[in-house]
Amino acid sequence: MSDTTTRRVVEASNRQQGDHPSGDNRFELVDKHLKRARYEQDQLIETLHVAQDVFGYLSEDILIYVARALRLPPSMVYGVATFYHLFTFEPPGDHSCTVCTGTACFVKGADAIVQGVSDAYSVPTGETSADGSLTLKTARCLGSCGLAPVVVLDGSVLSHQNAESTLELVGTAVGGEG
Ligand code: FES
């Protein structure tokens, strides 16, 4: 057995089951979906959803990976991904604050909440603070207008918010920073 062959055998035996050749096992979950979808090109949007669920966002590497797997031009995959507002291209922060800016929430002061959080954490809407602690987003009507203004903080729905109450809760979530 040559040195190279021996090394390969040792590497293979050292490799834990399930290791993905990319070095990132999260791709395995995307691969599983791709296999189930038989690598059909019309599964692009569904595949992007799966990839975003797995990684939390769609990086350029992920978009290229999906494009190769489905034998589609990367430019087309990028075009489709950017067309839909559901996809995000920045890694999410440790915490996420989504402020509903639908009509009911807007008339009850949602903008002041967005501004307050944005100012306090120096984070523009739709982005993540420089230290990675907080992602600030806005959403169209979240379907709970009776609770306006509505904020979703780390998955919890907060009702009848104002800038002060939201900042207090975000501060607690982030750990008193900001
Ligand atoms: S407008 Fe905010 S929940 Fe409907």
Evaluate: CB of 104 within 6 angstroms of ligand 1: yes
Specify the pLDDT at position 65. Answer: 96
Token reading at 94 = 């440790």
Location of structure tokens 């709970």: 144
Specify the pLDDT at position 168. Answer: 97
Task: Provide the CATH topology of domain 95-174.
Answer: Glutaredoxin (3.40.30)
For the chain, which residues make up each domain, given as ranges?
Answer: 20-83, 95-174
Evaluate: CB of 141 within 6 angstroms of ligand 1: yes
- Overall average pLDDT of the 144-149 stretch: 94
Which protein residue's CA is at the shortest distance from atom 1 of ligand 1? Answer: 102
Element (H, E) at 96: strand 95-100
Element (H, E) at 151: strand 151-153
- pLDDT, tens digit (0-9, with 9 covering 90-100), for 13-50: 444 445 677 778 788 889 999 999 999 999 999 999 99
* Residue 147 Cα: closest atom of ligand 1: 3
In total, the chain counts a number of residues equal to 178
Evaluate: CB of 66 within 6 angstroms of ligand 1: no
pTM value is 0.64
Least confident of 4-18, 22-36, 157-171: 4-18
The answer to whether 167 touches 158, Cβ cutoff 8 Å, is no
d(CA 112, CA 27): 40
d(CA 89, CA 48): 11
Sheet containing 127-128, strands listed edge to edge, beginning at the edge strand earlier in sequence: 127-128, 134-139, 95-100, 151-153, 156-158
- pLDDT, tens digit (0-9, with 9 covering 90-100), for 95-123: 989 899 999 999 999 999 999 999 999 99
d(CA 81, CA 49): 10
> Would you give the DSSP letter of residue 137?
E
How would residue 71 be classed by pLDDT, with cut points 50, 70 and 90? very high
Location of structure tokens 């569904």: 46
Evaluate: CB of 144 within 6 angstroms of ligand 1: yes
d(CA 77, CA 48): 9
CA neighbor of 92 nearest in space, from 124, 133, 51: 133
Reduce the DSSP state of residue 138 to 3 states and report it: strand
